[in-house]
Amino acid sequence: MPVMRARFLIPAKSLVALPPLDSPQWQSPWRAFAWGLRSITQTILTLVLFATYLGIGALAHDTHFSLLWALCSTLFVWAGPAQIILITTLGSGATVIQSAIAVTVSAIRLFPMVVSVLPLMRTPTTKRRELFFAAHLTAVTLWVECHRFLPQVPRERRIAFVNGLGFGLVSVCLTANTVGYFLAANLTQTLGAAILLLTPLSFLFSTARNSREVADVVALALGVLLYPLAAKMNSGLDILVSGLVAGTIAYGVHWWREVRA
Amino acid sequence: MSFAQLIGDWHALAVLFVAGVVPNQIWRMLGLWFGGGIDEGSELLVWVRAVATAILAGVIAQIVVEPPGALASVPDVLRYGAVAAGLVVFLLTRRSIFAGVVTGEVFMLAGKWWLG
């Protein structure tokens, strides 16, 4: 088996290098945090995030926002598409209200994402405030990685692990923002376009990779195909409409298969 | 670039908070609030996840269909072609994210170079 090739091209579940569930490595929450932090080196998505946030730093520079502004947006918004939408709408002269609406529609997806991720790390004694940082850190990358890594982390250490993973990813992105901000003057238009194209490509493939059930595949494919139709209605809630319709159809497919089985 | 330019003004940071942070975080905090009562593996969660996936798919489609910034300089056919080419390679390589992303990028860059 060409293991090296597989390790690089196909970051399969079995290749995640974490200690076994019963290892003493998991006894300390700080150790679990450190394992989470270290796990950023186990995924190609870290590189993709770096390039995406390089682009966001450059976009912020070109739209005349300050470096502090760009860093605060990464730290407190922590959602690539929302940040791109915020910068481009404000930069093109939209009002604060118009930008806020565009951002909030793109962010609706965070609600079901948080709802689906938090049960993976909750124990019967977990308090809501303990999950605060995990909720804040939840975005597409963390959502994908939680489904990949968490089955290999003991349940009582999962919050610490996720906090470490998120802390690492945010640090990478803050660094990328700073580099991108200072590089901006030297980025050609083609390179800028290539960096912006990374976001849809990586989002599409990382979500497709994580699709285990038919319902997930249907939701993804229909969601992409229905968006241009929903956009024609020009309601301002296009993504919400196509998402609800495509997601509900996908759930219907899941329900129908379960009933038949 | 001066220090003051790197910090910017408080007005811009206030706009970031009102138009960016609040509209975004409200959904995460709602998820934190309501997520507590929902059982892992419940039917409701299957629906919720399907809708989350479909909304994300819409965000992906929006960036390709209505491209921001420099991406708008890339012709439609190249943007759609890049996603399609990347998808084909992604599937052929047993779902390699890396191979899919690289193929999409190479397709777009080669197309731009070829079109001049």
- Give the C-alpha separation, A239 to A81, whole Å: 13
* Same domain flag for B62 and B29: no
The total number of residues written for chain A in this structure: 261
Number of domains forming the structure of chain B: 3
CB A150 within 8 A of CB A120: yes
Q: Is pLDDT of A1 > 70?
A: no
CB B111 within 8 A of CB B82: yes
Q: What pLDDT score was predicted for residue B69?
A: 76
- The CB-based long-range contact list for B86-93 (8 Å cut-off, 24+ gap) reads B86/A201, B86/A204, B86/A205, B87/A204, B87/A205, B90/A205, B90/A208, B93/A9, B93/A10
Q: If we measure between CA atoms, which residue out of A31, A10, A19 comes closest to residue A163?
A: A31
* Same domain flag for B65 and B85: no
Q: What pLDDT score was predicted for residue B101?
A: 93
* Same domain flag for B78 and B110: yes
* Same domain flag for B102 and B79: yes
Greater confidence (A123 vs A76) lies with: A76
Query: How far from chain centre, in Å, is Cα A70?
Result: 18
* Same domain flag for B28 and B53: no
Helix (H, G, I), strand (E, B) or coil at A138: coil
Task: For residue range B37-70, list pLDDT tens digits in order.
Answer: 666 667 887 887 888 889 889 988 988 998 877 8
- Residues in chain A with CB shorter than 8 Å from the CB of B23 are 100-101, 103-104, 107
* Same domain flag for B27 and B45: no
Within 10 Å of residue A92's Cβ, how many Cβ atoms? 12
- Give the C-alpha separation, B57 to B43, whole Å: 21
Q: What pLDDT score was predicted for residue A108?
A: 80
CA atoms within 13 A on the CB side of A80: 33
Percent of chain A with pLDDT over 70: 92
Helix (H, G, I), strand (E, B) or coil at A187: coil
Burial of B30 from C-beta contacts in 10 A (0-12 / 13-18 / 19+): middle
| Residue of A135, A193, A204 lying closest to B28 (CB–CB) | A135
Q: What is the mean pLDDT of residues A40-56?
A: 88
Q: What pLDDT score was predicted for residue B111?
A: 95
- Give the C-alpha separation, A162 to A150, whole Å: 8
Q: Which residue out of A159, A188, A227, A234 would a mutagenesis test of the B interface target, given it has the greatest number of B Cβ atoms within 10 Å?
A: A227
Question: ipTM of this complex > 0.90?
Answer: no
* Same domain flag for B43 and B33: no
Within 10 Å of residue B64's Cβ, how many Cβ atoms? 22
Tokens coding B29: 């905090």
CB B101 within 8 A of CB A48: yes
| Residue of A67, A69, A227 lying closest to B61 (CB–CB) | A227
- Strand positions, DSSP E, A188-246: none
Instruction: Please tell me which residue of chain B has the smallest CA distance to A115.
Output: B35
Judged by a CB distance cut-off of 8 A, whether residue A203 touches chain B is yes
* Same domain flag for B103 and B89: yes
Task: Indicate if the alpha-carbon torsion angle A156, A160, A166, A172 is positive or negative.
Answer: negative
Within 10 Å of residue B83's Cβ, how many Cβ atoms? 23
* Same domain flag for B97 and B78: yes
Q: If we measure between CA atoms, which residue out of A134, A60, A257, A230 comes closest to residue B62?
A: A230
Within 10 Å of residue A261's Cβ, how many Cβ atoms? 5
Residue ranges making up the domain that contains B5: 1-37
* Same domain flag for B25 and B56: no
* Same domain flag for B4 and B30: yes
Rg (CA), chain B: 20
Query: How far from chain centre, in Å, is Cα A198?
Result: 13
Q: Is pLDDT of A3 > 50?
A: no
* Same domain flag for B81 and B106: yes
Judged by a CB distance cut-off of 8 A, whether residue A75 touches chain B is no
Q: What pLDDT score was predicted for residue B40?
A: 60
Q: If we measure between CA atoms, which residue out of A57, A63, A55 comes closest to residue A178?
A: A57
- Give the C-alpha separation, A11 to A21, whole Å: 20
